[in-house]
Amino acid sequence: MIEEQYDILIELQKIDIDIDEEKKKKRSLPLTIEGVTKKIQGLKDNLKKKNENYKNLQIKLKRKELDLAEQSNKINKHQEDLYGGKISDIKELKQIQKVIANYKEEKDSIEEVVLDLMEEMEDLNKSIGNLDEDLEGKEKKFKKCKEEIDSARLVIERNMNSLNIKRGEILNKIIDDRLLKEYELLRKEKGGKAIIKVDGSICPGCYLDLPSDVIYQLKKNRKIIICPNCSRILIWKD
C-alpha cells in the first residue's frame, strides 16, 4: 500500500513541477512585451521632444525673418534719403551712409543666424523622419509580439487547465493524508522537489550521506522515510 502511495506522490510531483513551469512561463510573458513597450515609449518621448524643438526653431526663424525684413526696410528708407536728392549736406549724407552700413552689418548677421536655423531645422527634420520610421517598425514589432504573447498565454492556460484536472484526479488516489500534508509542506520549502528517489548511500537532494538504518528502512518501505539532513521524503529507487 505504501509503495502505491509513493508512486502516486511521484506522479503528483511531476504534475506540480509542470504546473510550476507553466506558471513561470506565464509570469515571463509581461516582461517580454514590457521591453518592447519601454523602447516604444522612449522613441515617442524623444520624438515629442524633437518636434517641440522643431516648433521652437520655426518660431525663432519667423522672428529672425521679421527682423531681416525690418532691417531691409530701414536700409531701403535710408537709401531713399541718401539718393533722393533731398539732402545735400555732406555730413548728413555721410551719417546716413554710416547708418546704412550698420544696418547692412546687422542684416548680414541676421542672415547668418537664419541660415544656421534653417540648417539646424533640416537636420532635425531628418532626425524626426528617422525616428518616425523607427517608431513605426517598433510598433509593428509590438503588435506582432503582443499577438504571439496572447497566443502563448492561451496555450499556457490550456496546459494549466489540463494539468490541474490531472492533479485533481491524482489527489483522489491519495488516501494517506499525513503523507500528502508532508509533501505539500516540503514542496513549498524545497523549491518544488519534496520527494526524491534514492539508489545509494547519498541523498540526491542535499548530496549528504544517509545513515545505514535509513537506507535499510528505504529498502523495506516500512514507513515514510525523511532525509535527516534536508527533510525531503525519500523513496528507494528499484
What pLDDT is stored for residue 146 in this prediction? 87
CA 214/CA 198 separation, integer angstroms: 11
At 218, the pLDDT band (50, 70, 90 cuts) reads confident
C-beta separation of 90 from 111 below 8 A: no
Whether the model pTM is above 0.85: no
pLDDT at 39 over 90: no
Residue of 53, 52, 123, 119 lying closest to 111 (CA atoms)? 119
User: What mean pLDDT comes out for the span 104-123?
Assistant: 94
pLDDT at 102 over 80: yes
Residue with the bigger pLDDT between 220 and 98: it is 98
Ranges 54-68, 121-135, 153-167, 192-206: which has the least confidence: 192-206
Ranges 15-19, 34-38, 41-45: which has the least confidence: 34-38
Amino acid at 143: K
pLDDT at 91 over 90: no
**Cα Dmax for the chain:** 132
Please state, for a pLDDT cut of 90, what percent of the chain lies above it: 50
143: burial class by Cβ within 10 Å (0-12, 13-18, 19+)?
Answer: exposed
pLDDT at 222 over 70: no
pLDDT at 122 over 90: yes
What pLDDT is stored for residue 7 in this prediction? 83
CA 114/CA 108 separation, integer angstroms: 10
CA 74/CA 84 separation, integer angstroms: 15
For residue 21 the three cell numbers come to 513551469
Sheet strand arrangement including 225-226: 195-198, 233-236, 225-226
Q: At what angle do helices 2-83 and 177-189 cross, to 10 degrees?
A: 30
Using the structure block, give the residue that is written with the C-alpha cell 516582461. 31
At 35, the pLDDT band (50, 70, 90 cuts) reads confident
User: What mean pLDDT comes out for the span 167-171?
Assistant: 94
Amino acid at 6: Y
Helices (H), 172-230: 177-189, 212-220
